[in-house]
Every structure is written in structure tokens, then in C-alpha cells.
């Protein structure tokens, strides 16, 4: 291998090793005739025997080889790891690259990716380019001037298209939008709860039914309450009789006691009557039942305060948009956007952002914040619980920034994590 070619490969290996965090040794094994068989980093250091063995194994079997030189007691502790990557992308580059790095197990995939990037750079060295690349160009004159003209025009057209695309990305503005999953909720939701401990006697409606204010939805069993009503009515008659007898005997103390008992029994009777009245569960507004079905729970017990039904209006909605944490900083109150529902894919419903809530949800891939918005138009067919995709218009920005800012942000975070 020529001195120029050897110097280029050594410089490439030095640069790559400076970019890989935690690297201790590196070796490039070459099997091509006339090439120097081994290029090492650091160049004056003896390469570990296991590193050479891994490089030869990766070169001969043409596959990735990884091994560790020590066993970690904790999964989050860095250990000495050998990674050998075969050079398979270029026909004139035959061999393998092996490195000894001190990394955590979770960092292994990132290190392998950086080594594969380095393999791409190796193929770009001038001394390693395939001489056959220029062969088609030499054959064109044999086909006559027509082929040369076609290739020239195609090259010019490609250049013009790429140039126009670059100018559009750099100079032309577009609308920057934030996209998120959206869900329709009722502006208000009324709960129909169990007024007392009892049992379900009848169910006249279930989720999905449209109801009007005052419409009967379900009934609770009142048999026990009717018995209590009779009991308290009898107690009132008894205490009232004893009260009158005490007055006849001029026993004011006993008369006062029985009068108090009459009042207590009357209070219990009024409470029982109120429970019987409230055993008929009715809707408090015009709307649709969005949850609750007691048709399969007849005779089942319920506790005081149990939510049996939820009713939402059909003409008042609130739009909930889940915005990714990376973009929620761009969303403010008053911004406008458009919503497309799964049930109405051909319609774009305009909306206005009303509130950016600090409430968020996490699904393991990141956090999404809850943004509340108000629909400008309410077409027929809307129902609470409908889902779709919402896009919030932020402002005008360069197309290049719109298309590539997320990639730039990812690279910045990666650099912040790995660079010293």
C-alpha cells in the first residue's frame, strides 16, 4: 500500500477514535493484496490480543462481533467492551474495524452506529475509490453524441431541480403547524349518581341514547323504603297518642319528651319520602348518555355516590389536543387551527386554542400536554368521544426550518449527551 494511502487511512482512524466516547484501542485489519495488514490506534501501542482476535473473526465471517472483558455487577456500570465491525460496503475495502471501549450496555448500539458511519467515511477517501466508477463515462462517446447530450441535459435538469428545491427551503416561507391527537368532549358533563344505598330495579336507557331534561333513565328498588315509611308513620301516631295522654295527666315532662319523639319520627318520615322520590333517576339536561348501562345489572347493589350515568350536551363541545412536549412551548392561547375527525375525513373544522394546561400524559415514548380548544363551527353529526388529528397554526417560517428542525434538535441533544 502506498505511503499516501496508508497516511489517509491512519488519519481517518485517528479522527474516528477521537469522536467515539470511551475508546481505548482500535485496529483496522486489511486482507486486500498489497495493503498494509494492520492499522492501529494509538499507532505506537500494542493492540490487545482479544481485539485482534475479534477483528480477524469479523473479517473472516463478515458479521458483527461483540464481547465484554469484564462482568458488571450493575446494569448501569460501564465495562470494557470489544466491538468488531466488518467492512462490507465497498468492494475494494476488505477487512474489519475493531475497537476496545469502556461503555455502558445501553450505549453499545450508539457506538456501533458511529463505527458504521466511520465505514462510510472510509469509502470516501480518494485513494480507496473504485476505478470502475468512471467507466460508464468513457463508454458514452462510443454511443455517439446523442448519449452525451442526453446525459448533459439530465445533469442540467437535475441541477436546476435541486437548486430550486434548495432556494425554496432557504428563502420561501410556509405555515409552521403543531400536530396532535384530538378528542371531543362535552363542554359540561352531568353525572347521575345513586342517592342512597339500594338495588337497581329498572333501567330505561343506556349509553348512546339521546335524552331530554327530566326523562326517566333508571329506577332503584323502594320496597325497603316503603316499609320504613310505614314504620315511621306508626311511630308518629304512637308518640302523638302518648303526648296527648301526658297532657291529660298534666305531666309536662313526659309531654315534652313525647313531643320531641314525634318531631324526630316526622323528620325520619320526610327523609324516607325524599329517598323514594329520588329513587327515580332522571336526566338533568338535554343531551346524550356517554357512559352507563344498568340493563344487565338489574338487582345489583349500588352505594351512595356511585356514578351510574354521565350525560353530555349535543351542541356544546370542548376539543382536547395532546401536544408533544417538544412542541408545546410554541402553543399559546388564541392560536387557530383545523381539526379532521376520523368520522369526517373530508371536513376541516376550525378551532381556537383557549388554554394550555400543565396536565400531561406519558406513554413511555415521551410526554404529551393537554391543550383545550373551542370549535368555531359545529356541524351535525358531532358526538362526544370522537377522535381525530388537529393542526395548530403557529406562524410563518422557512420551509427548511419546518422540515429539518426536529432532526437538528435531536442532534443537539445527542451532542449535549456525548460531548464533554
Q: Which of 112, 129, 146 is the last residue of a domain?
A: 129
CA angle 54, 56, 62 (to 5 degrees): 95
184 assigned to some structural domain: no
219 and 266 share one domain = yes
Q: Does the N-terminal peptide bond of residue 46 adopt cis geometry, omega within 30 degrees of 0?
A: no
pLDDT of 373 strictly over 90: yes
Mean confidence (pLDDT) of the chain: 81
Q: In what order do the strands lie in the sheet with 287-291?
A: 190-193, 307-312, 287-291, 210-211
pLDDT band at residue 62, thresholds of 50, 70 and 90?
Answer: confident
332 and 288 share one domain = no
Distance separating alpha carbons of residues 13 and 118, to the nearest angstrom: 9
- 164 lies in which domain range? 134-171
331 and 234 share one domain = no
Q: What is the CATH number of the domain that holds 375?
A: 2.40.30.170
Mean pLDDT for 74-86 is 81
212 and 165 share one domain = no
pLDDT of 392 strictly over 60: yes
382 assigned to some structural domain: yes
pTM (global) more than 0.85 = no
Cell of 196: 342512597
Mean pLDDT for 290-304 is 86
103 assigned to some structural domain: yes
Q: Name which residue leads in pLDDT, 218 or 123.
A: 218
pLDDT of 207 strictly over 70: yes
Three-state SS for 201? Answer: strand
pLDDT of 379 strictly over 50: yes
Q: Which of 115, 125, 49 is nearest to 84 (CA)?
A: 115
Q: Which of 312, 331, 352 is the last residue of a domain?
A: 312
pLDDT band at residue 72, thresholds of 50, 70 and 90?
Answer: low
179 assigned to some structural domain: no
Q: What is the CATH number of the domain that holds 61?
A: 3.30.450.40
83 and 157 share one domain = no
Q: Which of 312, 329, 364 is the last residue of a domain?
A: 312
pLDDT of 391 strictly over 90: yes
Q: Hey, which of 59-73, 207-221, 353-367 has the most confident mean pLDDT?
A: 207-221
178 assigned to some structural domain: no
112 assigned to some structural domain: yes
pLDDT, residue 160, reads: 73
pLDDT of 150 strictly over 80: no
185 assigned to some structural domain: no
Three-state SS for 69? Answer: coil
- Give the chain's length: 420
328 and 389 share one domain = yes
Number of compact structural domains in the chain = 4
Cell of 66: 461483540
pLDDT, residue 339, reads: 93
351 and 404 share one domain = yes
Q: Which of 140, 327, 298 is nearest to 219 (CA)?
A: 298
Q: Which helix (H) or strand (E) holds 246?
A: helix 223-248
Burial class (CB in 10 A: 0-12, 13-18, 19+), 27: buried
Bridge partners for 309 per DSSP: 192
Q: Name which residue leads in pLDDT, 257 or 364.
A: 257
Q: In what order do the strands lie in the sheet with 301-302?
A: 280-282, 216-220, 198-203, 301-302
Cell of 400: 427548511
| Angstrom distances, CA of residue 46 to CA of 7, 26, 40, 288 | 19, 10, 8, 79
194 and 291 share one domain = yes
Q: What is the CATH number of the domain that holds 206?
A: 2.40.50.100
324 and 366 share one domain = yes
Cell of 342: 376520523
176 assigned to some structural domain: no
How crowded is residue 7: how many other Cβ atoms within 10 Å of its Cβ? 11
Distance separating alpha carbons of residues 411 and 251, to the nearest angstrom: 95
> Who's near 253: CB < 8 A, 6+ residues apart?
none
341 and 392 share one domain = yes
pLDDT of 182 strictly over 90: yes
327 phi, psi to nearest 5 deg: -115, -10
251 and 335 share one domain = no
Three-state SS for 163? Answer: helix
pLDDT, residue 131, reads: 45
Provide the angle, in degrees to the nearest 10, between the axes of the packed helices 108-123 and 3-19: 150
| Angstrom distances, CA of residue 71 to CA of 77, 99, 137, 172 | 10, 18, 55, 56
239 and 219 share one domain = yes
Amino acid at each position: 500500500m502506498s505511503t499516501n494511502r496508508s497516511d489517509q487511512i491512519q488519519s481517518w482512524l485517528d479522527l474516528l477514535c477521537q469522536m467515539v466516547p470511551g475508546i481505548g484501542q482500535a485496529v483496522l485489519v486489511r486482507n486486500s493484496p498489497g495493503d498494509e495488514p494492520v492499522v492501529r490506534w494509538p499507532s505506537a501501542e500494542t493492540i490487545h490480543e482479544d481485539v485482534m482476535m475479534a477483528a480477524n473473526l469479523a473479517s473472516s465471517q463478515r458479521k458483527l462481533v461483540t464481547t465484554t472483558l469484564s462482568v458488571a455487577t450493575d446494569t448501569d456500570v460501564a465495562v470494557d467492551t470489544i466491538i468488531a465491525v466488518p467492512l462490507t460496503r465497498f468492494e475494494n475495502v476488505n477487512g474489519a474495524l475493531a475497537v476496545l471501549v469502556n461503555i455502558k450496555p445501553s450505549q453499545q448500539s450508539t457506538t456501533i452506529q458511529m463505527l458504521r458511519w466511520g465505514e462510510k467515511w472510509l469509502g470516501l477517501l480518494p485513494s480507496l475509490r473504485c476505478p470502475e466508477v468512471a467507466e460508464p463515462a468513457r463508454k458514452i462517446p462510443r454511443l455517439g453524441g446523442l448519449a452525451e447530450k442526453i446525459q448533459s441535459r439530465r445533469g442540467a435538469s437535475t441541477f436546476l431541480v435541486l437548486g430550486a428545491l434548495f432556494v425554496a427551503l432557504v428563502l420561501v416561507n410556509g405555515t409552521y403547524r403543531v400536530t396532535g391527537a384530538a378528542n371531543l368532549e362535552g363542554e359540561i358533563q352531568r353525572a347521575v349518581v345513586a342517592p342512597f344505598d339500594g338495588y337497581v330495579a329498572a333501567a330505561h336507557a343506556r349509553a348512546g341514547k339521546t335524552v331530554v331534561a327530566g326523562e326517566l333513565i333508571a329506577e332503584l328498588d323502594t320496597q325497603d323504603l316503603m316499609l320504613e315509611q310505614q314504620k315511621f308513620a306508626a311511630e308518629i301516631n304512637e308518640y302523638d297518642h302518648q303526648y296527648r295522654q301526658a297532657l291529660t295527666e298534666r305531666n309536662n315532662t313526659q309531654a315534652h319528651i313525647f313531643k320531641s319523639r314525634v318531631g324526630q319520627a316526622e323528620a325520619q318520615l320526610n327523609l324516607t319520602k325524599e329517598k323514594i322520590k329520588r329513587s327515580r333517576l332522571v336526566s338533568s339536561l338535554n343531551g346524550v348518555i356517554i357512559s352507563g348501562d344498568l340493563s344487565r345489572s338489574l338487582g345489583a347493589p349500588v352505594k351512595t355516590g356511585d356514578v351510574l350515568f354521565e350525560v353530555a350536551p349535543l351542541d356544546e363541545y370542548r376539543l382536547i389536543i395532546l401536544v408533544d412536549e417538544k412542541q408545546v412551548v410554541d402553543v399559546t392561547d388564541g392560536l387557530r387551527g383545523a381539526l379532521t375527525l376520523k368520522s369526517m375525513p373530508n371536513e376541516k373544522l376550525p378551532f381556537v386554542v383557549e388554554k394550555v394546561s400543565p396536565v400531561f400524559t406519558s406513554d413511555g415514548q415521551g410526554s404529551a400536554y393537554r391543550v383545550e380548544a373551542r370549535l368555531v363551527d359545529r356541524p351535525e353529526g358531532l358526538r362526544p368521544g370522537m377522535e381525530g388529528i388537529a393542526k395548530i397554526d403557529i406562524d410563518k417560517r422557512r420551509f427548511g426550518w419546518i422540515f429539518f428542525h426536529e432532526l437538528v434538535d435531536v442532534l443537539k441533544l445527542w451532542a449535549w449527551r456525548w460531548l464533554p
